[in-house]
Structure 1
Amino acid sequence: MTKDIDTEPHGELAHHKDYADPPPAPLFDATELRKWSFYRAVIAEFVATFLFLYITILTVIGYKSQTDIAHGGDICGGVGVLGIAWAFGGMIFILVYCTAGISGGHINPAVTFGLFLARKVTLVRALLYIVAQVLGAISGVGLVKAFQKGYYNRYNGGANMLADGYSKGTGLGAEIIGTFVLVYTVLSATDPKRNARDSHVPVLAPLPIGFAVFLVHLATIPITGTGINPARSLGAAVIYNNEKAWDDQWIFWVGPFIGAAVAAIYHQYVLRAHAAKALGSFKSSQNL
Structure 2
Amino acid sequence: MHRRQLSHRGADSGGEFLFNKLCAEFLGTCWLVLGGCGSAVLASAFPQVGIGLLGVSFAFGLTVLTMAYTVGGISGGYFNPAVSLGLAVAGRVPASSLLSYVIAKVAGAIIAAAVLYVIATGKAEFQLGSFAANGYGEHSPGGYSLTAALVTEVVMTFFFLIIILGSTHDRVPAGFAPIAIGLALTLIHLVSIPVTNTSVNPARSTGQALFVGGWALSQLWLFWIASLFGAAIAGIVWKSVGEEFRPVD
Note the C-alpha offset of 1:24.
5.2
After superposition, the CA RMSD in angstroms is: 2.1
Match of 1:245 in 2: 216
SS in 2 for 1:121: coil
Q: 44-53 vs 222-231, which deviates more? A: 44-53
Match of 1:69 in 2: none
Number of residue-to-residue matches in the alignment = 234
* Runs of at least 4 residues off by over 6 Å: none
Matched, 1:156 2:127: no
Conserved? CA contact 2:43–2:50, under 8 Å: yes
Match of 2:33 in 1: 53
Distance 1:87 1:227 in 2: 14
Query: 1:216-241 deviations in whole A, cap 9, x for unaligned?
Result: 00000000000000000001111222
Conserved? CA contact 1:108–1:230, under 8 Å: yes
Q: Which runs of 5+ in 2 are unaligned?
A: 1-6
Matched, 1:205 2:177: yes
Conserved? CA contact 2:166–2:242, under 8 Å: no
Which runs of structure 2 are paired with 1:90-105 in the superposition (5 Å)?
90-105=62-77
Q: Out of 5, 19, 23, which is 1:43 matched to?
A: 23
Normalising to structure 2: TM-score of the pair? Answer: 0.87
Matched, 1:107 2:86: no
Match of 2:151 in 1: 173
Distance 1:247 1:45 in 2: 27
Match of 2:226 in 1: 255
Q: Which runs of 5+ in 1 are unaligned?
A: 1-21, 67-72, 196-200, 277-288
Match of 1:271 in 2: 242
**Alignment-mate amino acid for residue 233 of structure 2:** V
Normalising to structure 1: TM-score of the pair? Answer: 0.76
Match of 1:184 in 2: 162
Distance 1:146 1:23 in 2: 39
Q: 156-165 vs 85-94, which deviates more? A: 156-165
Identity %: 32
Match of 2:50 in 1: 78
Q: 57-66 vs 251-260, which deviates more? A: 57-66
